[in-house]
Amino acid sequence: MSLGPVMVGLAGTTLAVEEREILCHPLVGGALLFERNYESPEQVAALCATIHALREPRLLIAVDHEGGRVQRFRRGFTPLPAAAVWGRLYDRDPGQALEMARDCGWLMAAELRAVGVDLSFAPVLDLDRGVSRVIGERALHRDPETVATLARAYGRGMKEAGMTVTGKHFPGHGGVREDSHLQLPVDSRGLEDLLLEDLLPFERMVHYGMESVMTAHVCYQGSDRRIATFSSFWIEEVLRGQLGFQGAVFSDDLAMAAAAGPGDLAARARAALAAGCDMVLVCQERAHAEVVLDDLGSWSNPVTRLRLARLHGRPAPTRDELLRDPRWRETAARVSACDRSRDLKLL
């Protein structure tokens, strides 16, 4: 059984019988974990092992674990600084910032791989324009070249720990004030302006070997009236055509308010897949996933299956082995010190 194009959410810290059935559906390709799915490293490792044992090839397991306010697993994991910390440090000491960004990418990925998580949807490649309510300190910097440079270092650390890189939110969420979880953001700039700034980090990361991208639920009305998640212009013409991206494309969660344009969740899933997404996220309620899976029927795309198959995490040390690793001890101490010092006096 190959990986399907739907990523689902789970209700709690163990699998219910109905969730096992959904995860075995041929159109499911992965599970996204949230705070509601986490109690401890031991518990989440057992949950991931159970999910991976259900099928072959094993399902992808993902989480949003960027650092700062977006870190789903807390107790037992190293607290990670918000991405903006590396940007502020870069303005003072670029070399140290790049070293710390790489360390943070490695630490994040190593701790997740040690419990069986395949993907963290990171790094954020949006620009810090000072207007976005939902991005804020999740962005690395205002300058696109700096974002690309820091993201490359962060991605190197991730890959050293056995995790692929997912850049988000394509083609850039930093230029709009609205939170796409709650309403539809509209960016009036045209393609030329976006290519000069917001798209530059994505272009650079494509050439650096980024394996996947997550789309933005944003309408860039200067180029296309459809929001990026449902736009073949953005996914096929710009991302794959102009930027040359050959990896996997994830939608953001289709239950978000900004994704309502095409209709109900089934219509949203069909529209995203038709636009060029390889995997759609339907992660809030089991009933939503059931509706989407029933509607998609016998959907199939051999190219999508190949793209998704490349995203499995590489073999990694167990958690006990990781905690004995001198690199983990030293890196966790440095990153923890940075997280406790928002003004960077400890660096």
CB 116 within 8 A of CB 49: yes
Q: How is residue 45 written in tokens?
A: 């490792």
How confident is the chain (347 residues) per 10-residue block, as mean pLDDT?
Answer: 94 96 97 98 98 97 96 96 95 96 98 98 95 90 97 98 98 86 85 93 98 96 93 97 98 92 94 98 93 92 94 96 97 84 44
* Whole-number pLDDT of residue 177: 78
DSSP characters over 247-280: SEEEEEETTSGGG-TT-SHHHHHHHHHHHT-SEE
For the chain, what is the HEC assignment? CCCCCEEEECCCCCCCHHHHHHHCCCCEEEEEECHHHCCCHHHHHHHHHHHHHCCCCCCEEEECEEECCEECCCCCCCCCCCCHHHHHHHHHCHHHHHHHHHHHHHHHHHHHHCCCCCEECCCECCCCCCCCCCCHHHCCCCCHHHHHHHHHHHHHHHHHCCCCCEEEEECCCCCCCCCCCCCCCEECCCHHHHHHCCCHHHHHHHHCCCCEEEECCCEECCCCCCEHHHCHHHHHHHHHHHCCCCCEEEEEECCCHHHCCCCCHHHHHHHHHHHCCCEEEECCCHHHHHHHHHHHCCCCCHHHHHHHHCCCCCCCCCHHHHHCCHHHHHHHHHHHHHHHCCCCCCC
The DSSP element (H or E) to which 80 belongs, if any, is none
- Phi-psi region for residue 172, left (φ > 0), alpha (ψ -120 to 50) or beta? left
Average pLDDT, the chain: 94
Measure the CA–CA gap between 224 and 236, rounded to whole angstroms: 13
Q: What does the pLDDT look like over 215-267, one tens digit per residue?
A: 999 999 989 999 999 999 999 999 999 999 999 999 999 999 889 988 999 99
The answer to whether 207 is a known catalytic residue is no
Q: Which of 143, 187, 252, 339 is catalytic?
A: 252
Q: Count CB neighbours of 138 within 10 A.
A: 25
Task: Note the pTM of the prediction, 2 decimals.
Answer: 0.95
The answer to whether 65 is a known catalytic residue is no
Domain 6-340 has CATH 3.20.20.300: yes
* Whole-number pLDDT of residue 347: 38
Measure the CA–CA gap between 155 and 12, rounded to whole angstroms: 30
